[in-house]
Amino acid sequence: MKDKTALVTGAASGIGKATALLFAKEGASVIISDLQEAAGEAVAADIRSAGGKSAFFKADVSVPEQMESLVNFSVTTFGRLDMAVNNAGISGEMNAAADMSIEGWNKVIAVNLNSVFYGMKYQLQAMLKTGGGSIVNVGSILSSVGFAGAAGYTAAKHGIIGLTQTAAVEYAAQNIRINTVGPGFIDTPLLGLLSEEMKKQVITLHPVGRLGKSVEVAELIVWLASDKAAFVTGSYYPVDGGYLAR
């Protein structure tokens, strides 16, 4: 990936950070974006001190103007945008549908779904100017099944699949591929809300008998973004320790 530039949102932590570090290991120049400035700057600094190219840009993925600025920053910093990972997300309010607040619903849809549309809109515009690219959207196992207490999160993650499929069909002829990954429960700060008891219960839902690791998701994301996946577009790839097979 020596001459390529990758952009990762939510790259200060968890799956996004592991993905950014793996892109850098493959030789790509990496734009790190997140709300968390210090942690995001630290990831970019780690990549630079290992001899790679990286820069941080603070952006809130739920604000369209900031997503446009982020893509512009990527293009002005490294000259082009070849790969983008729309990863930033939140777990959101946990309540059954009848009890979910309107604010909670709107927030999780804004951060986990609207963000992917805003990201793709500007990433596609940049990629069209340079003859193609690849986008990976981070969904969830909850892109294809429900989970009690997470109506907004689940609806957002299902929506990402529709966005991915539609844009993949629209831009395949222009050499842009778009796919969704569906992680099972991964051991990141996002699971901070779960008690140890709940974590144990969640583990039993994964036939491999453990939570996933961020790097195990990053491996799939970076492969999908790479030219090795040249015939892969419009699809959904779970990486879930067998969760969906049960």
Which residues lie near ligand NAP (CB under 6 A)? 9-10, 12-16, 34-36, 60-62, 87-90, 111, 138, 140, 183, 185-186, 188-191
153 an active-site residue? yes
Name the catalytic one among 118, 122, 153, 243.
153
CB of 175 or CB of 235, closer to ligand NAP: 235
What is the SS3 assignment for 236? strand
DSSP 6-44: EEEETTTSHHHHHHHHHHHHTT-EEEEEES-HHHHHHHH
Q: How far is the CB of 3 from ligand NAP (least distance, A)?
A: 27
Tokens, residue 49: 């001190």
Q: How far is the CB of 191 from ligand NAP (least distance, A)?
A: 5
User: Residue 95 CB: number of other CB atoms within 10 A?
Assistant: 16
Q: How far is the CB of 76 from ligand NAP (least distance, A)?
A: 20
C-alpha dihedral over 89, 162, 178, 109, to 10 degrees? -20
Q: How far is the CB of 60 from ligand NAP (least distance, A)?
A: 4
CB of 42 or CB of 128, closer to ligand NAP: 42
CB of 16 or CB of 133, closer to ligand NAP: 16
Exposed e or buried b per residue across 209-245, where buried means at least 16 C-beta atoms within 10 angstroms of its C-beta: eebbebebbbebbbbbbbeebeebbbbbbbbbbebee
Write the CA distances from 90 to 9, 35, 98, 112, 177, integer angstroms. 12, 12, 21, 7, 25
CB of 195 or CB of 231, closer to ligand NAP: 195
Q: Which residues are catalytic?
A: 153
